[in-house]
Structure 1
Amino acid sequence: MGTSLVTLFVFVSAAVGCAALTWALMPLLARYALARPNARSSHKIPTPQGAGIAVIVATLVVTALALGLTAPTLLALLPLFAATVVIAIVGAVDDIRPIPVLPRFALQALCVGAVVLTLPFDEQIIPTLPLWLERTALLIGGLWFVNLVNFMDGLDWMTAAEGVPVTAALAVFGLLGALTQSPMLIAAALGGALLGFAPFNRPGAAKVFLGDVGSLPIGLLLGWCLLQLALQGHVTAALLLPLYYLADSTLTLLRRMLRREPFWLAHRSHFYQRATDNGFSVREVTRLVFLTNLALALLAGLSIALKSIAADGALLAVGAAVVAALLMRFARRKA
């Protein structure tokens, strides 16, 4: 079977598997993991959470089966898979009975650290940097990325609107030779699983949420795939793909810190959340985010194709302008 067919098979299998497992889990989640509305919520009625279990199980199982014929490759992924399972368990516990901030953060740091510290010593994004300095930066950046994916999972379809375009782009880049097999297949499986979850999370009729059990490990897997893209020399593309999430979450954090707000507590001040307060429907917000991510994926593809430092600078500027336009639109009342 050719690489393209294997990738398509992984995508479809993960979508079907996630949909079936989500459907099977819903009665259990309704009983033990009910998310009740509060002042920071975007939903109005108690809704089961925890369907991220289905997304992660489908992603890991389908990827493992696809790589089953190449045992050394699968063994190399064991630290990532183990960290994904552990951080999912942390999220599951937090969904049912909230864990205090510091222990939760420490457990997340252990999972991200396990992935970063087991990277091969000869793999670096910037070879001129001391290895310890780059790995420290990756640990901090990875921990932030895991949390920002969690922070941005505050509307129906929001994680799918981000994750599906990004993972699809990563899979295409892999097929074109810009990304190695393992992250390509993980991206395809994760994108398929998110698509399988989406029908259960439709805006206005959501039957279930991802929960922290889903958003945290999704952040870890997606961050690892982007890191692999950067390690292949495509740093600009790795920055462009998640640029909307990076901008919304980071600017919101900085704004809250400048206002001396307790930034570590849950809130409703992200740009996408303010958009719903400003008259945008959830479907409008997620559609605009999805279209923005398609534009960013195109810019990332151009960066890989052109292989030019000058072009990279221009593409980053265009991507930043596209994201800034969306953030400013979200921050204003809808006309």
Structure 2
Amino acid sequence: MTGSGVVLLLAISSAAVGCALLTWTLMPLLARYALARPNARSSHKTPTPQGAGIAVIAATLAVTAIAFASSAPALLELLPLFAAAIAIGIVGAVDDIRPISVLPRFALQALCVGVVVVCLPADQQIVPALPLWLERTALGIAGLWFVNLVNFMDGLDWMTVAEGVPVTLTLAVFGLFGAVSPSPMLLAAALGGALIGFAPFNRPGSAKVFLGDVGSLPIGLLLGWCLLQLALQGHVAAAFLLPLYYLADSTLTLLRRMLQRERFWLAHRSHFYQRATDNGFSVREVVRLVCLTNLALAVLAGASIALESIAADGVLIAMGGALVAALLMRFAHRKA
């Protein structure tokens, strides 16, 4: 095994152990101050502590910072991202305990995403033909949407694990082959490890704790940044394929609610994965199918990087779209 492979394994295992220990330590405090009570839009039946995202983010940032402790330039490059992740996590923590109204919440989230986008190197672009200001504006809007869609999709036990672990560990593997630089590679490995450490506490049917907005929002920010780094390396199709299920479920649900003139900014239970549980699928079945779909999308993303062909990218994206569409249609109908 190469030195980079050993470092990745250490990052994954350290983050997993650190997150598990911190989650276990925090649970009595979360049960006292951050209890999520069931309502008409909930998927859980009993009051459950939320806020384990504190442990996930703390483990992720700590392990990443330690990995780059001997490289001041790399650590300085990550500081704006770390600061934004902590700030958006604080916004989520406040919202978990005492809900914030829509406009201030989105404004604060936009500020955090904007800091990350503004701090990108000026010589890095996905589409060099575009004016830099236009691409950065588009990235800010996309980043804000990605942060929120990860939050929207965190509505079942293990759902964020089923999405986050395949995507982050795939990004880490891509880093071993030079598709992403060491910073996103190690950050993705640490985030994937932290989610693995969180998973035993969030088992479907016996979940002891939830991530909360304090976890899902910064997870979306960190994951979005890693995918952006993949796109900036020229692997746009791969960066699009990896989170395609989340993108499709959230975006189609939003569009459907807007067309039906619903108050789309309010919490609801109309995502495809939520409709699946109403249609006879167990939570374990839903997250298993989502995880398997994400693994298949990871293979397609890897093929895109290996083939380095615009024509192949088109075919692979079409294949990924068909795969995701089949899953969404399956979720939208009663289980046979």
The runs of 4+ residues in structure 1 deviating greater than 6 Å are none
Deviations 1:201-230 (A, max 9, x none): 000000000000000000000000000000
Deviations 1:132-158 (A, max 9, x none): 000000000000000000000000000
Query: Which residue number corresponds to residue 152 of structure 2?
Result: 151
Query: Which residue number corresponds to residue 179 of structure 2?
Result: 178
1:227 aligns with 2:228: yes
**Where do residues 102-121 of structure 1 align in structure 2 (5 Å cutoff)?**
102-121=103-122
Query: Which residue number corresponds to residue 207 of structure 1?
Result: 208
Distance 1:130 1:201 in 2: 44
Deviations 1:208-261 (A, max 9, x none): 000000000000000000000000000000000000000000000000000000
Query: Which residue number corresponds to residue 192 of structure 2?
Result: 191
The DSSP-based 3-state class of the residue aligned with 1:265 is coil
Deviations 1:170-197 (A, max 9, x none): 0000001111000000000000000000
1:70 aligns with 2:71: yes
State the 1:3 CA deviation: 1.0
Query: Which residue number corresponds to residue 282 of structure 1?
Result: 283
- Where do 5+ consecutive residues of structure 2 fail to align? none
Query: Which residue number corresponds to residue 15 of structure 1?
Result: 16
The one-letter code matched in structure 2 to 1:285 is V
Distance 2:74 2:180 in 1: 14
Query: Which residue number corresponds to residue 272 of structure 2?
Result: 271
Query: Which residue number corresponds to residue 320 of structure 2?
Result: 319
Query: Which residue number corresponds to residue 140 of structure 1?
Result: 141
* Count of residue pairs the alignment pairs up: 335
Query: Which residue number corresponds to residue 50 of structure 1?
Result: 51
The one-letter code matched in structure 2 to 1:83 is A
Distance 2:263 2:102 in 1: 12
Give the superposed CA RMSD.
0.5
Query: Which residue number corresponds to residue 35 of structure 1?
Result: 36
Query: Which residue number corresponds to residue 168 of structure 2?
Result: 167
State the 1:2 CA deviation: 1.1
Distance 2:9 2:205 in 1: 30
Deviations 1:93-137 (A, max 9, x none): 000000000000000000000000110100000000000000000
The one-letter code matched in structure 1 to 2:333 is R
The one-letter code matched in structure 2 to 1:202 is R
Query: Which residue number corresponds to residue 89 of structure 1?
Result: 90
Distance 2:121 2:67 in 1: 23
Deviations 1:265-315 (A, max 9, x none): 000000000000000000000000000000000000000000000000000
Query: Which residue number corresponds to residue 125 of structure 1?
Result: 126
Distance 1:248 1:272 in 2: 8
- Where do 5+ consecutive residues of structure 1 fail to align? none
The DSSP-based 3-state class of the residue aligned with 2:57 is helix
Distance 1:4 1:206 in 2: 32
The one-letter code matched in structure 2 to 1:95 is D
Distance 2:86 2:204 in 1: 28
**Where do residues 236-255 of structure 1 align in structure 2 (5 Å cutoff)?**
236-255=237-256
The DSSP-based 3-state class of the residue aligned with 1:77 is helix
The DSSP-based 3-state class of the residue aligned with 1:190 is helix
